[in-house]
Amino acid sequence: MNSLSNNGTVIYASSEDAKVYALKSGDGTKIWAFQTGGPVHGQPAFMEGRVYVGSDDNSLYAIDATSGSQVWKVVTKGKVTGQTSSDGKHIYFGSADGFVYAVHITNGGVAWKLRTGATVEAAPIKVKEHILVGSYDDFFYALNPQNGNIVWKQRVSNRVGSRPIMENENALVGPLRSRKLSVFDSNQGLLLNETTLSDDMGEIVSAPFQIGKQIIVSTDLGLVALKGK
């Protein structure tokens, strides 16, 4: 199994065998298995009776969480390996084809898509009036959720593979294979703060996460805990 999510009683799991599984959380009994056309590396997202997940077959799927049947799918020109997000009207996701997509939650119709310069693996998230998303093109973007137009973008120290950590309206970004963590004002894109890891701390290798007031960073030399505000 690659990645898991749950709704309290059911676990949804992605797998290298090109399937998405629904399992009873109590004993692991299989409820259903949904077949895609390639390995599934993305984390399934459960929202209002559906499971949304991307596949290496270049598609994003909406699956009925009860029956395991397909509701709709969106085909892109690259692998869909990141997690999705939603504002209740649209599902937002990225693809290895370099685009950020917004699709209608009801039928999967593409509302808009925005091309970046490289793979988009990070889950886009809506914060106030913007969609925030990072790309492997070394930029962090704020997009207009109505049409996908770029509101602002900021270059960071390397490729961005995960959603930012939000504190009020400030976004912390930790690019992969970088030593810098940058904090931006999500409204205007202003760089508010930047922390550089020392050489003996290593380079960032996975998404930073927050525990209480600490930011935990996984590097090629171990774990680093930074004091947040």
- Burial (CB < 10 A; 0-12, 13-18, 19+), residue 93, is buried
Res. 62 pLDDT band, cuts 50 70 90: very high
Residue 224: inside a domain? no
For residue 199, is it within any domain? Answer: no
Q: Which pLDDT does position 42 carry in this prediction?
A: 87
221 located within any domain: no
Q: Region 77-83: what's the mean pLDDT? A: 95
Contacts of 27 (CB under 8 A, 6+ apart): none
Per-residue pLDDT, averaged over 117-122, amounts to: 96
The torsion angles phi and psi of 224, rounded to 5 degrees, stand at -125, 130
pLDDT band with cut points at 50, 70 and 90 for residue 2? low
User: Based on the structure, what is the number of domains in the chain?
Assistant: 1
- In this predicted structure, what is the pLDDT of residue 227? 83
Q: Is residue 188 part of a domain?
A: no
Predicted TM-score (pTM) of the model is 0.92
- Whether 46 is covered by a domain: the verdict is yes
pLDDT category at 24 given cuts 50, 70, 90 is very high
pLDDT, residue 213, reads 87
Would you state the pLDDT for residue 229? Answer: 62
Does 228 map to a domain? no
What's the whole-number average pLDDT of the chain? 94
Say if 8 falls within a structural domain.
yes
Domain range for 126: 3-163
Tell me, what's the pLDDT at 168?
A: 87
Residue 116 inside a domain? The answer is yes
Instruction: Check whether 5 has a pLDDT greater than 90.
Output: no
152-159 contacts, C-beta under 8 A, 24 or more apart: 152/188, 152/189, 153/189, 154/182, 154/184, 154/189, 154/191, 156/180, 156/182, 157/182, 159/118, 159/119, 159/134, 159/135
Q: What is the mean pLDDT of residues 100-121?
A: 98
pLDDT band at 164 (very low <50, low <70, confident <90, very high): very high
CATH number at residue 10: 2.130.10.10
Q: How many CA atoms lie within 13 A of 218 on its CB side?
A: 7
